Amino acid sequence: MSNKPLHVVILAAGKGSRMRSDLPKVLHQIAGKSLLGHVIDSALELNPAQIHVVVGHGKDLVIDSFAQHAWNDRLNWVEQTEQLGTGHAVSQALPFIGSDGDSGSDGKSANVLMLTADVPLIRSSTLSAMVSAMSSSPLALLTALVDDPFGLGRITRDESAAVSGIVEQKDANSEQRKINEINSGIICADSEQLKIWLSQVSNDNVQQEFYLTDVVGLAYAAGNPIAALHPDSNAEVTGINSRLQLSQVERLFQAEQAEQLMNNGVTIMDPARIDLRGDVEVGSDSVIDVNVVLQGRVRIGRNVTIAPNCIIIDSILADNVTVHSNTVIEGSELGADVNVGPFARLRPGTKLADKVKIGNFVETKNAQLDVGAKVNHLSYVGDATVGSNTNIGAGVITCNYDGANKHKTTIGKDVFVGSNSQLVAPVEIEDGATIGAGSTITTKVEANKLAISRGKQRQIDGWTRPTKAR
C-alpha cells in the first residue's frame, strides 16, 4: 500500500438526461440508497483524508440529501459550473488536494482516486487494490473485459501489451471498436502528475470535452508505467444511465446480497424475489420466502421463518420467530419464539417479549406486550402495556386518541379481554381481571374482578321481519 495520503474525487455533476427525471441521476436509488451514497460508502472504507464530490446539476438537492449523515463532515462539495467533461470536473477538485488534506499548494503529492457516482457496485476491496498499485506506478486504472463494449471507452495497448491509452466510442475507428477491454471510469493517480497531465488535455474531440481518460495516453507518452487492474466481477463496474440499467443493477445487487446470506446459512426460497434495502443481518437456519423486503437496519436471529410478502423495516427479531405471510413490521422488537400474522401490522414502538402471539389483522403501535401475551385477531393495541399471559380477544380496541392527545392503556398480567370491547384511555386493567365481551371500559378495573358494560338484552314479541318490496 502506498504511504501517500489518499484523496477521493467522485464525479456527480451530470444531469443524466436519459433517466428522464427531475431528480439528479446520482440520487436515484439502488436498494434504498442513492447511487452516490453507495459510492461514498465504498470510498469511506478506505479511510481517505477527504472525499471531494464534484456536483453540478441539482447540486442543492444532492448536497442537502447528505446533510444529516454522520460522515457529512468528511465530504468536500466542489461545484462544476460548466459541464466541460470529466477532465474538467476533476480539475475543479485538485486545488483542494494536498498531503495535509487542505490544499495542493505545499508541493507534496497525494494519491487521487477518481470514481463516478453512477457506478454504485464498486467494492472497497477493488479500490484498495488500485491504491496499492500506486506504490510502483503513478497511474492505475480499472478495466474490464466485456462481450458487448458498445458505447464504452476502449483500452488500447502497444506491441508489448502495455496500456497505451483510452479511446472513447465516438472517437474510435473501426478497428478500435472491436476491442472488448473497456474503461470502467475508475482511475487512481499521483496528484502532482495528474495536475501536469490535466493541464495538457485538450477538447479536440467529437464531444468537444476535456476527457479525464486522455491522461492515460499522456502518461504513456511520457514513459510512465501504467497499472491496469480488473474487478473480481464485471458487475462492480456496471454504470447506470437509464431506468432500465437502474433496474438491472438493482437485481445484480440483490443477487449479491442474497448470495451472501445463503453463504451464511440462510435459506432463501427464491433469490430473485427478495429485496434487501439496508443494513441487514440474518442468523443461520432462518428461512425467507418470496417477495420479502428487508429495509433499513434489520437484525434477524437464528431459525426464524418469514413467509411470503412480508415487509420488515428497522426491526429486531430474536431466535425462533415466525412471521406469517403479508405482515408488516416496522420499528419493532420481537423476542424469542414470537408468532406474528398473517396480515398483521406492527408499527414503531412495538416491543414483544418472548412467546407473544399476534394474530391476523392485528395492529399494534407503541405497545409493549409481556411474555406469553396474545392478541389473536382483528384488534388494535396502541399506546399500551400488556402483562404476561394476558389474552385480548377479537375486535378489541384501545381507544388511545381523544382527537387531540394520545393516552395510555395499562393492562396487567393474566387478564382476559372479551371480544368487541373498547378500552377508553387513560385506563388501567389490573392483574387477573376479566372484561366481558362487548364492553366499553372507561374506568379502572380492579384485580380479579369481572367488568361488563353492555345494554340489557330484550326480546320483542310480535316482531315481523321486513320483506323486499315487489
Here the cell at position 23 is: 431528480
Here the cell at position 153 is: 471507452
User: Does 377 qualify as catalytic in the annotation?
Assistant: yes
Closest C-alpha among 331, 344, 242, 252 to residue 295: 331
Closest C-alpha among 48, 239, 69 to residue 127: 48
Q: What angle, 0 to 180 degrees and rounded to 10, lies between the N-to-C axes of helices 191-200 and 86-93?
A: 140
Q: Which of 52, 230, 377, 407 is catalytic?
A: 377
Here the cell at position 67 is: 446533510
Here the cell at position 111 is: 494519491
Give ∠ CA 367-432-362 in degrees, rounded to 5: 30
Give the burial string for 140-175 (b: 16+ CB within 10 Å, else e). Answer: bbbbbeeeebeebbbbbeeeeeebbbbbbeeebeee
Cα 333 to Cα 298, 311, 315, 347, 365: the distances in Å are 10, 14, 6, 10, 12
C-beta separation of 327 from 339 below 8 A: no
Residues forming the active site: 377
